[in-house]
C-alpha cells in the first residue's frame, strides 16, 4: 500500500490491543491456578499444563503463523487468529474437566500464534511510508507487551476474587468480537502470495516439544530410567530430528537452516531459551507459594506480584534501551542473567511461615531487574545480524525459542519440586521444600545462561533502532 492510511493510528490501537491481549493471556491465569486446580481436579504436577498448553501451541506454531500471514494475507490471518482465540476462550471458560481446560488453552495458543506475526506485518504496512512514524508506532506496540503482562497479573486477581476463574477467559470474548468488527474499517488489505505451507514441519516441531514436556512431567511418577520415560524422550528427539530433516529437504521450509549461519543468532537464542527456562518457573512457583503457603487469596496474590511486573515495565521502557545503546547487548545479557539468578536464589530462602515483605518483595524485585536487563538485549542480539528479508524469520525463531525454553524449564522444575514435596497440599513445610528446590533449579539455569553468554558471545551486538523491534512474546507471563 503506497498511500498513507489516514486512520493508521486508530489501526495501531487495534494492533496494540491485540498484542496486549495475547500477552495478557499468558499472565492473567497465574493467580487463578489454585482455584482451577480445586474445581477441575488438576494434580499439583499437572497444573502446569494450563500454562504449557498455551505456550507450546503458541511457540510451536509461531513460524507457521508467519508463513500463513505471508501466503494468505496478514489481515485475513489476523482475523482468523482472533476468531480462534475467542473460540478457545469459550472452551476454557466452560471447561468442566482438566483435559477440556488444556484443550481450550491450546486453541488459545493457536490463535495467538496467528495474531502475533500478522500484527507485525500489518503494522509495517501501515507505517512503512515514514521511518520516524514507524519508530513511534513500534515503541507504542512494544510497550503493549509489558503492559499486558502487568495488567494480567492484577486483573487476574480482581476477576478471580470477585467473580470466578472462568471469567479470566470470558473477558476475551467481547474484546475479540469488537476487534474482529473493527478490522474491515481500520486494517489495510495485505495481499498474499503463492507458495506452499510446511504443515508436516509445523506438526513435527510442535509434537516433539509437547512430547518432551510430557515425558519430563511424567518422569517423577514413572521414573527417569523407566522404559516409558525413555521411549517418550526418544520419540520427542526423533520428532525434532524429523523437523530438521524436513527443513533441509522441502522447497519452502518454515525455518530455512541457512539462517543459523548468521553470527550471534545461535548464542542469542540459547540465552533466550535459558532466560525463559529460569523466569517462568520462578513466576509459576511464586504464585503457588503466595497462595498455598502464605495463604493469600487471588486478589492479594495478584497485588503482591504487581511491584515486580511494574518494575519490569519501567525498566524495559525507560532504562534498558538506553543502556543497550551505550554498552551493547552482551554486557546487559550477562549481567541481567546473573542478577536474575541472584533474585531467584533469594526466593529459595522463602520460609513456611514467611512474609511478603521479607521473603518475596526484595528478591522478586531483584529478579525483575535481571529479567528487564537481559530480555530486550537478547531479543535484539538475535535480530541484529540477519538480512532485512529474514527479520521476520529471526523474530519468529527467537520468540519460539523463548516459549520452548519456558515450557521445558517449567516441566523440569515441576519435576524437581514434586520430588521434594510440592505435591503435598496442605503441608506448608513440604510445599516450601518443593518450591525452594524449584527456585534453586531456576537460579542455576539463569546462572548457566550468564556463564554461557559470557563465554560464547564473541562481541556485543549493536543496538537496534526502535523501529527494528520485532514482535515479542512478553517475558512477564506472570
Neighbour-count burial for 354-384, b at 16+ CB within 10 Å, e otherwise: bebeebbeebbbbbbbbbbbbbbbbbbbbbb
Ordered by start, the domain boundaries in the chain are 8-198+250-468, 199-249
**3-state DSSP assignment of residue 79:** helix
**3-state DSSP assignment of residue 350:** coil
Q: Give the count of beta carbons closer than 10 Å to the beta carbon of residue 461.
A: 25
Task: Give pLDDT tens digits along the chain (478 positions).
Answer: 456 767 788 888 888 888 788 777 777 887 788 888 889 988 877 787 888 788 888 877 888 887 788 778 888 888 999 999 999 999 999 998 999 999 999 999 899 888 888 887 787 777 767 667 766 776 677 667 666 766 777 788 888 888 888 998 998 999 899 989 888 877 877 666 676 778 888 888 888 888 887 888 777 777 878 898 899 999 999 999 999 999 899 888 888 888 888 888 889 999 999 998 999 889 888 988 988 899 887 778 878 888 887 888 788 777 877 787 788 889 999 999 999 999 999 999 999 988 899 999 999 999 999 988 888 788 778 777 776 556 667 777 877 788 788 878 888 898 888 888 877 777 889 999 999 999 999 999 999 999 999 998 875 444 444 444 444 445 555 4
Q: Which fold has domain 8-198+250-468?
A: Growth Hormone; Chain: A; (1.20.1250)
Instruction: Look up the pTM and report it.
Output: 0.78
Using alpha carbons, list the distances in angstroms from residue 43 to 53, 184, 222, 320, 441. Answer: 15, 44, 15, 39, 21
Amino acid at each position: 500500500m503506497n498511500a498513507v492510511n489516514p486512520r493508521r493510528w486508530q489501526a495501531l490501537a487495534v494492533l496494540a490491543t491485540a498484542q496486549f491481549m495475547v500477552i495478557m493471556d499468558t499472565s492473567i491465569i497465574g493467580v487463578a491456578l489454585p482455584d482451577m486446580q480445586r474445581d477441575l481436579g488438576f494434580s499439583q504436577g499437572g497444573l502446569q499444563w494450563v500454562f504449557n498448553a498455551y505456550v507450546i501451541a503458541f511457540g510451536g506454531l509461531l513460524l507457521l503463523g508467519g508463513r500463513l500471514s505471508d501466503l494468505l494475507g496478514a489481515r485475513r490471518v489476523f482475523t482468523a487468529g482472533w476468531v480462534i482465540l475467542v473460540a478457545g476462550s469459550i472452551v476454557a471458560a466452560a471447561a468442566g474437566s482438566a483435559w477440556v481446560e488444556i484443550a481450550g488453552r491450546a486453541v488459545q495458543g493457536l490463535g495467538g500464534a496467528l495474531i502475533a506475526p500478522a500484527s507485525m506485518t500489518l503494522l509495517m504496512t501501515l507505517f512503512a511510508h515514514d521511518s520516524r512514524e514507524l519508530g513511534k508506532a513500534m515503541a507504542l506496540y512494544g510497550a503493549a507487551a509489558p503492559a499486558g503482562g502487568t495488567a494480567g497479573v492484577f486483573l487476574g486477581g480482581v476477576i478471580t476474587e470477585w467473580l470466578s476463574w472462568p471469567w479470566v477467559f470470558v473477558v476475551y470474548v467481547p474484546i475479540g468480537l469488537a476487534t474482529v468488527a473493527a478490522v474491515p474499517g481500520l486494517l489495510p488489505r495485505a495481499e498474499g502470495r503463492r507458495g506452499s505451507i510446511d504443515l508436516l514441519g509445523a506438526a513435527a516441531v510442535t509434537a516433539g516439544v509437547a512430547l518432551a514436556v510430557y515425558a519430563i512431567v511424567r518422569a517423577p511418577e514413572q521414573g527417569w530410567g523407566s522404559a516409558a520415560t525413555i521411549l517418550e524422550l526418544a520419540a520427542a528427539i526423533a520428532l525434532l530430528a524429523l523437523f530438521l530433516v524436513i527443513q533441509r529437504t522441502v522447497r519452502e521450509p518454515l525455518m530455512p537452516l541457512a539462517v543459523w549461519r548468521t553470527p550471534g543468532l545461535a548464542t542469542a537464542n540459547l540465552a533466550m531459551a535459558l532466560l525463559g527456562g529460569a523466569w517462568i518457573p520462578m513466576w509459576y512457583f511464586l504464585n503457588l507459594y503466595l497462595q498455598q503457603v502464605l495463604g493469600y487469596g487471588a486478589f492479594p496474590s495478584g497485588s503482591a506480584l504487581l511491584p515486580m511486573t511494574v518494575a519490569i515495565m519501567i525498566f524495559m521502557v525507560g532504562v534498558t534501551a538506553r543502556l543497550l545503546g551505550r554498552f551493547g547487548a552482551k554486557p546487559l545479557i550477562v549481567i541481567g542473567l546473573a542478577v536474575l539468578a541472584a533474585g531467584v536464589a533469594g526466593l529459595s530462602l522463602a520460609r513456611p511461615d514467611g512474609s511478603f515483605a521479607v521473603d518475596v518483595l526484595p528478591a522478586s524485585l531483584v529478579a525483575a531487574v535481571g529479567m528487564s536487563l537481559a530480555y530486550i538485549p537478547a531479543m535484539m542480539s538475535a535480530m541484529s545480524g540477519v538480512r532485512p528479508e529474514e527479520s521476520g524469520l529471526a523474530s519468529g525463531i527467537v520468540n519460539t525459542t523463548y516459549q520452548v525454553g519456558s515450557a521445558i524449564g517449567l516441566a523440569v522444575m515441576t519435576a524437581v519440586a514434586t520430588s521434594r514435596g510440592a505435591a503435598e497440599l496442605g503441608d506448608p513445610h513440604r510445599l516450601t521444600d518443593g518450591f525452594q528446590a524449584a527456585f534453586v533449579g531456576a537460579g542455576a539455569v539463569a546462572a548457566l545462561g550468564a556463564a554461557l553468554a559470557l563465554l560464547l558471545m564473541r562481541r556485543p551486538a549493536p543496538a537496534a533502532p526502535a523501529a527494528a523491534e520485532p514482535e515479542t512474546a512478553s517475558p512477564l507471563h506472570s
